[in-house]
């Protein structure tokens, strides 16, 4: 049995609480939130969960095995450090921290205290991404040449982070998961239409070895909502449309082969276009899977899917993207 | 009556020939093509049109008022120079030339010989773009904050130009037409998957004054065909989906206002979301409109919509984009 | 304050319970279900609600003002009669009863005991249908000429009623609400692919005065889910697509006028095709509105939207449809 | 070499002329049309084709092997009779004739004179319908339980036939082609909103042995254009959406099995839902295939796909549908 404290009961906290509440061998003992109104909401829904607004209540409770931190990013480092030092396992909301240095410091703390440190990249646990990962691992798509993702809508302007820190962690963590490779460099541009100069439209590019490329289009001011990722392999190509309810993935038997020099007259490549397959994918809640993964990491030492290296890479890339945006798109080596 | 010669009867030449053939006060006298097979095709469709494979036949024919050049880009400068020097008006296929210097030289020639020099940016004559232009001019969208275009599909790999030179002229010329403003700088990234190192995926960003931005996603290796342009104004936003047959434009009464400092507690902006309007748009062939525009420029001195400055700007931006791609996304000032 | 008992906690009962639980001035005192498992579910979610499997507990409880009956259709008459005779107000799940005679008998009982008798045609309370009703009442569509609804998917085969009794009540009640008129006659065909001879595909037609027609296509064995209703007026036409999340209604400025005899040469009608408007519609839960409507009927004597005459008409039409199906489509006068 | 005369150069005649003109071993010698304007159009497009407004010119020309009749339905019988009696092979536009008796009489004439008599059900030659036929013949769909087609839009009101005679021949001929079986009876309803009492909305049902059913929804006054046919088999189900350009067919691995009596508790059927497959289908013009089929029937005695029995069945069913509509949906045995 793992006893947990959830820190932060704002937008995502209720989902975390509900899922850990329903996970076997897990007990949510505490929910911490600074707002009395939110604490009241917790108690009326879960009469057995304790609430508090003091981090000490959680840190000093020896029964608490693990804390789940779903507060604004700039608070992550302080809260997670204190928890790790107190011997608690930690699950951090994405993005992991505000800077790469903070992420590295947390990782060192976790290693030193031999605690689990995990980051909530929920998307990695969705049925669609799991199926994509399976296709990639089986070689169905062949060698992946590019990823092109569009994640735009009329979204809430954040006041502490720009649109990339808000939306791109999903795409970056999925790319890492699928490609199993670290980008060489990062490049980004964006604009802000508010006085705080936080970008509300931004375009991020990751360069990989062998001319692989990933490009993410993120916006809070699009009239239409789009959640679409193209994954282009040299065998097949895949489209992941997360707004579809039952047809999230489409596999296209479509592609081209570069012709050998001798065969070329005026055409360079040979095209192939065939059937499209829309696989039936099971439906389950990704966050429930993540909760189980964290539990198994804590109780049984299992290696989690959404590990701290994934969290670190996301922060590294976002930090580099900020630098690149300031320099109007200059490439930043990782 | 304007007498024309069409040079090049490959992919686009037949469309140009058919449209000028059907335009009142126009007579296609010559079609020039190096392939006997293509010349035969011309004669069987249009028994009254002369065919040749020699540029001299066209240039030295004093009856010919104007030439229309639809050959590969690298031949544009030479053919257009000779035509202008021979006193012919010239309509050039897009992109206008291979370099900015060539474009400037042609413009000077046209001015010196007082001839019309026009570039075929057909999109500017489409019913949808004309309607968009009308909306922008009437102020329906308010101040335009961004343009975001996706123009991707499994397309023919060109052997002489990269994907931006192939596809982006459409987006660049539409942007110039709608915004009526010149970008300050250009930034682009891309990758090639062929030995000739011509990019088959590329992302181009234009920076304008006052944090306006335009971004174009161009690809020849997408499994899905997308032709979508978002135009975000501070009053309304518009989506142009060119693959729709009868619903190409959607006007969204959607947007946000930045709140004055005093009103802000934790939210920065105020959101608005209302009805969507899909206007009925007339259906006509854009190329027929362009043919009439060229004719009126030649015969009546009318200022054409798709003028040489538009052609020049496209080439300047593409040249800068090539430089930027080589430097992995560095900003190039125009 | 109105105290209620919910009878039946199967598919729809939990939704009724939750909504009445959340409605001001309403208190769900009892939930009755024959299954101990379901009663347990009730008590764990709502510790303050009493549960029972005996109708007498509810009927004889003098505190209970109203009962909500969400059991299989064939039990409606008996349960509702007993409740009305005991002086309870009654809300019945749709369809109201198994036969027209039962419906008439219940209405007489309700009148005699001066109790509210209402039927749960939830669709009438949805934002989309309310907006459609408003458009019709304002005359936006002009005179309605036809309604054409498709309500098909791979659905659960019922074991006691055919597909029309399952799905058509929605369409019939919406039609009555919009047209404000009673059909003259009914015609239906259908087939069964199971041994119980209950139709799993059926097509129902209602004939109205002045050549108005309504047609409903209902199926449990369609590979695709469709929930689409066309409403054709002589001014404008409307499409209601209930599977859309934010674009449920589309108003088409499309139609035709019959030309006067003198103007006709070979064409009979004059066509009109214009803009399409997609209105922004508020989002709320229809069942919460229905709960308030029932409460206001009980506590304040308000005339409910989904009244017993609507319930009666649905049953009359379904009964006639069954007769017509048996006679392979013969018209049945109402 | 087969020499033809095309009779009628209105809506469909130009397509027939162009396709037969391009078919090897075919020569269009005559086009007959009553309008001088249309005859002029023919001569300017095809300088070698003779034109006339007199049927005698065609009938008495001994070089003419076959006539193609694309005139209004009520003229079919007279024109085809004269052509057959003069020893010409005949291809008739759909529907074949105005009545079943006329169709039977033409068939007898064709047999007596040993001439080919074929009906232009173009849809049978489309790539999508050919593929559907192949799937059915291979047993991919299993036993077909139902066909459900919607063929609606804001269409031209015909002045001589109702909407079923205009649109349903497509569906009826496809059904016959796929099911290979004759319906037992026919049932239809419809309404007219014009003074000539020709229905502009109509619903047609065909009853087949073993509870197979086909239902066609035809309308000239729908705001949206829909061309969708569902084919439900007990192995798989298929959707044919003719408005899609590259994804016309979808095969759903979806269905249900009726459970044996012993397995039933409360559920009657067992559901199955799996992948969806969108086959790549070749693109070609159906009318070109039909022209070749007619040529091969005339020159080589090949049995044509769209034979006179298909034409006869369509007319029989439409005649029965008219009777049924007059009797408000009564079943008419064939």
Which residues in chain D are contacts of A277 at CB distance < 8 A? 275-278
* Average pLDDT value over all residues in chain C: 95
In whole angstroms, give the CA distance from residue C278 to residue A247.
25
Residues 6+ apart with CB under 8 A from B284: B127
β-strands B117-120, B89-93: how paired? Answer: parallel
Q: What residue ranges of chain B are covered by domains with CATH 3.30.360.10? A: 124-285+316-333
Whether residues A201 and B268 touch (CB distance < 8 A) is answered with no
**Distance from the A159 Cα atom to the nearest Cα atom in chain B, whole angstroms:** 7
| CA distances (Å), origin B254, targets A166, B174, B263, C313, D50 | 21, 22, 21, 42, 61
Listed residue (A221, A139, A123) closest to A172, CA to CA: A123
Chain C interface mutation, best of B131, B255, B278, highest count of C Cβ atoms under 10 Å: B278
In whole angstroms, give the CA distance from residue C210 to residue D203.
18
Tell me phi and psi for residue C20, to 5 degrees: -65, -35
In whole angstroms, give the CA distance from residue A276 to residue D249.
11
Q: What residue ranges of chain C are covered by domains with CATH 3.40.50.720? A: 2-115
In whole angstroms, give the CA distance from residue D66 to residue D117.
10
Is the predicted pLDDT of residue A32 greater than 90, yes or no? yes
pLDDT, one tens digit per residue, over B135-168 is: 999 999 999 999 999 999 998 888 889 999 999 9
| CA distances (Å), origin C111, targets A119, C87, C305, C312 | 64, 11, 17, 14
| ipTM score assigned to the predicted complex | 0.93
**Distance from the D278 Cα atom to the nearest Cα atom in chain A, whole angstroms:** 5
Closest Cβ–Cβ partner in B275, B279, B280 for C278: B275
Q: Which residues pair with B207 in a beta bridge?
A: B185, B213
Listed residue (A118, A71, A83) closest to A287, CA to CA: A118
Chain D interface mutation, best of A278, A281, A282, highest count of D Cβ atoms under 10 Å: A278
- Tabulate helix, strand, coil % of chain A (nearest 5): 35, 30, 30
Q: What is residue A191's three-state secondary structure?
A: strand
In whole angstroms, give the CA distance from residue D225 to residue B98.
45
Query: Both tokens of residue C100?
Result: 């027209």
Give me the mean pLDDT over the A140-165 stretch.
Answer: 94
Q: What is residue D96's three-state secondary structure?
A: coil
CATH number for the segment(s) C124-285+316-333: 3.30.360.10
Measured CB to CB, residues of chain C less than 8 Å from chain B are 247, 253, 273-280
Measured CB to CB, residues of chain D less than 8 Å from chain A are 247, 253, 273-280
Is the Cβ–Cβ distance between D200 and D325 less than 8 Å?
no
For chain C, list the contacting chains (3+ Cβ pairs, <8 Å).
B, D
Closest Cβ–Cβ partner in C253, C273, C278 for B276: C278
Which residues in chain D are contacts of C194 at CB distance < 8 A? 258, 268-269
Is the predicted pLDDT of residue B111 greater than 80, yes or no? yes
Peptide bond into A95 cis (omega under 30): yes
Q: What is residue A165's three-state secondary structure?
A: helix
pLDDT at C175: 97
Give me the mean pLDDT over the C287-299 stretch.
Answer: 98
Q: What is residue B227's three-state secondary structure?
A: strand
Q: Which residues pair with D226 in a beta bridge?
A: D152
**Distance from the A124 Cα atom to the nearest Cα atom in chain B, whole angstroms:** 23
Whether residues D215 and C203 touch (CB distance < 8 A) is answered with yes
**Distance from the D201 Cα atom to the nearest Cα atom in chain C, whole angstroms:** 9
Structure-token match 């670190």, residue found: A312
Peptide bond into A81 cis (omega under 30): no
**Distance from the C113 Cα atom to the nearest Cα atom in chain D, whole angstroms:** 37
Residues 6+ apart with CB under 8 A from B59: B82, B83, B86, B88
C–D CB contacts, 8 A cutoff, strictly below:
159
Closest-approach residue (CA) in chain A for D279: A275
Is the predicted pLDDT of residue C261 greater than 80, yes or no? no
pLDDT, one tens digit per residue, over A187-213 is: 999 999 988 899 999 999 999 999 999
What share of chain D has pLDDT > 90, as a percent?
Answer: 90
pLDDT, one tens digit per residue, over D58-77 is: 999 999 999 999 999 999 99
Please report, in angstroms and rounded to a whole number, the separation of the first and last CA atoms in chain A.
40
Give me the mean pLDDT over the B13-28 stretch.
Answer: 96
In whole angstroms, give the CA distance from residue A306 to residue A147.
20
Closest Cβ–Cβ partner in D276, D279, D280 for A278: D276
Look at phi and psi of residue B114 and say left if phi exceeds 0, alpha if psi is from -120 to 50, else beta.
Answer: left
pTM value is 0.94
pLDDT, one tens digit per residue, over D70-114 is: 999 999 999 999 999 999 999 999 999 999 999 999 999 999 999
Q: Which of B43-47, C238-242, D279-283 has the lowest mean pLDDT?
A: B43-47
Q: Which residues pair with C256 in a beta bridge?
A: C271
Would you place residue B255 in the very low, low, confident or very high pLDDT band (cuts 50, 70, 90)?
confident
Q: What is residue D228's three-state secondary structure?
A: strand
Listed residue (D284, D250, D242, D214) closest to D153, CA to CA: D242
Which residues in chain B are contacts of C280 at CB distance < 8 A? 253, 273-276
Residue C249's H or E segment, with its range, is strand C249-258
Closest Cβ–Cβ partner in B275, B279, B280 for C279: B275
Closest-approach residue (CA) in chain D for A273: D280
Closest-approach residue (CA) in chain C for B277: C277
Higher-pLDDT residue of B195 and A126 is A126
pLDDT, one tens digit per residue, over A240-292 is: 999 999 999 999 998 888 777 665 555 677 888 899 999 999 999 999 999 99
In whole angstroms, give the CA distance from residue C71 to residue C85.
19
Chain B interface mutation, best of C237, C241, C275, highest count of B Cβ atoms under 10 Å: C275
Closest Cβ–Cβ partner in A253, A273, A277 for D275: A277
Closest Cβ–Cβ partner in A212, A256, A331 for B221: A256
Which residues in chain A are contacts of D274 at CB distance < 8 A? 280
DSSP class per residue in B230-264: EEEESS-EEEEETT-SS--EEEEEEEEEEPPGGG-
Whether residues D157 and C221 touch (CB distance < 8 A) is answered with no
Domain C2-115 - what CATH class? alpha beta
Residues 6+ apart with CB under 8 A from D88: D5, D59, D64, D65, D66, D67, D115
DSSP class per residue in D15-75: HHHHHHHHSTTEEEEEEE-S-HHHHHHHHHH-TTSEEES-HHHHHT-TT--EEEE-S-GGG
Q: Which residues pair with C233 in a beta bridge?
A: C144
Give me the mean pLDDT over the C240-244 stretch.
Answer: 96
**Distance from the C54 Cα atom to the nearest Cα atom in chain B, whole angstroms:** 50
| CA distances (Å), origin A30, targets A38, A68, A74, A90, A288 | 13, 10, 22, 14, 19
pLDDT at A318: 98
Whether residues A280 and D253 touch (CB distance < 8 A) is answered with yes
Would you place residue B269 in the very low, low, confident or very high pLDDT band (cuts 50, 70, 90)?
confident
pLDDT at B168: 98
In whole angstroms, give the CA distance from residue B58 to residue B67.
8
For chain A, list the contacting chains (3+ Cβ pairs, <8 Å).
B, D
**Distance from the D280 Cα atom to the nearest Cα atom in chain A, whole angstroms:** 5
Residue C145's H or E segment, with its range, is strand C144-154
In whole angstroms, give the CA distance from residue C83 to residue A209.
75
Whether residues B276 and C277 touch (CB distance < 8 A) is answered with yes
**Distance from the B221 Cα atom to the nearest Cα atom in chain A, whole angstroms:** 7
* Average pLDDT value over all residues in chain B: 95
Which residues in chain A are contacts of D277 at CB distance < 8 A? 275-278
Q: What is residue C166's three-state secondary structure?
A: helix
Tell me phi and psi for residue C77, to 5 degrees: -60, -50
Whether residues B274 and C253 touch (CB distance < 8 A) is answered with no
Closest Cβ–Cβ partner in C152, C221, C327 for D256: C221
Is the predicted pLDDT of residue D196 greater than 70, yes or no? yes
Which residues in chain A are contacts of B331 at CB distance < 8 A? 327-330
Residues 6+ apart with CB under 8 A from A246: none
Which residues in chain A are contacts of B254 at CB distance < 8 A? 154, 223
Please report, in angstroms and rounded to a whole number, the separation of the first and last CA atoms in chain C.
40
pLDDT at C66: 98
Whether residues B203 and A185 touch (CB distance < 8 A) is answered with no
Residue C205's H or E segment, with its range, is strand C201-207
Measured CB to CB, residues of chain B less than 8 Å from chain C are 247, 253, 273-280
For chain D, list the contacting chains (3+ Cβ pairs, <8 Å).
A, C
Whether residues C217 and D217 touch (CB distance < 8 A) is answered with yes
Closest-approach residue (CA) in chain C for B279: C275
Which residues in chain D are contacts of C223 at CB distance < 8 A? 230, 232, 237-239, 250, 252, 254
Give CB contacts under 8 A, 24+ apart, made by A47-51: A49/A17, A49/A21
Is the predicted pLDDT of residue A133 greater than 80, yes or no? yes
Would you place residue B271 in the very low, low, confident or very high pLDDT band (cuts 50, 70, 90)?
confident
β-strands C332-333, B269-278: how paired? Answer: unpaired
pLDDT, one tens digit per residue, over B186-217 is: 999 999 998 889 999 999 999 999 999 999 99
**Distance from the D330 Cα atom to the nearest Cα atom in chain C, whole angstroms:** 5
For chain B, list the contacting chains (3+ Cβ pairs, <8 Å).
A, C
pLDDT at D295: 98
Closest Cβ–Cβ partner in B253, B273, B280 for C275: B280
Q: How many residues does the structure list for chain D? A: 334
D180 burial (CB, 10 Å; 0-12 / 13-18 / 19+) is exposed
Peptide bond into A101 cis (omega under 30): no
pLDDT at B284: 94
Is the Cβ–Cβ distance between D231 and D179 less than 8 Å?
no
In whole angstroms, give the CA distance from residue D67 to residue D298.
11
Which residues in chain A are contacts of D279 at CB distance < 8 A? 275
Closest Cβ–Cβ partner in D253, D274, D277 for A275: D277
DSSP class per residue in C51-76: EES-HHHHHT-TT--EEEE-S-GGGH
Is the predicted pLDDT of residue A31 greater than 90, yes or no? yes
């Amino acid at each position: 049995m793992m006893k947990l404290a959830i820190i932060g009961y704002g937008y995502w906290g209720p989902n975390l609480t509900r899922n850990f509440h329903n996970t076997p061998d897990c007990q949510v003992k505490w929910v911490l939130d600074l707002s009395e109104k939110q604490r009241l909401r917790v108690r009326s829904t879960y009469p057995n969960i304790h609430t508090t607004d003091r981090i000490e209540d959680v840190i000093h409770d020896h029964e608490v095995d693990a804390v789940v931190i779903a507060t604004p990013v700039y608070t992550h480092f302080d809260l997670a450090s204190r928890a790790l030092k107190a011997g608690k396992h930690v699950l951090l909301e994405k993005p992991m921290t505000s800077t790469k240095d903070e992420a590295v410091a947390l990782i060192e703390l976790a290693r030193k205290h031999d605690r689990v440190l995990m980051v909530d990249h929920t998307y990695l646990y969705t049925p669609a991404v799991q199926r994509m990962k399976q296709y990639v691992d089986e070689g169905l798509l062949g060698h992946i040449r590019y990823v092109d993702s569009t994640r735009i809508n009329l979204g809430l302007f954040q006041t502490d982070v720009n649109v990339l820190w808000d939306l791109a962690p999903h795409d970056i963590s999925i790319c890492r998961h699928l490609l199993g490779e670290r980008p060489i460099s990062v490049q980004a541009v964006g604009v802000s239409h508010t006085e705080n100069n936080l970008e509300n439209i931004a375009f991020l590019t990751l360069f990989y070895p062998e001319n692989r490329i990933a490009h993410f289009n993120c916006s809070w001011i699009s009239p239409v909502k789009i959640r679409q990722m193209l994954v282009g392999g040299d065998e097949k190509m895949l489209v992941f449309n997360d707004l579809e309810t039952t047809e999230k993935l489409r596999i296209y038997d479509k592609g081209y082969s570069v012709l050998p020099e001798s065969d070329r007259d005026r055409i360079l490549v040979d095209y192939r276009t065939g059937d499209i397959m829309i696989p039936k994918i099971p439906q389950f809640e990704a966050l429930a899977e993540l909760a189980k993964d964290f539990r198994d990491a804590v109780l049984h030492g299992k290696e989690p899917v959404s590990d701290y290296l994934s969290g670190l890479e996301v922060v590294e890339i976002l930090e580099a993207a900020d630098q690149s945006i300031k320099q109007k798109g200059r490439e930043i080596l990782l």
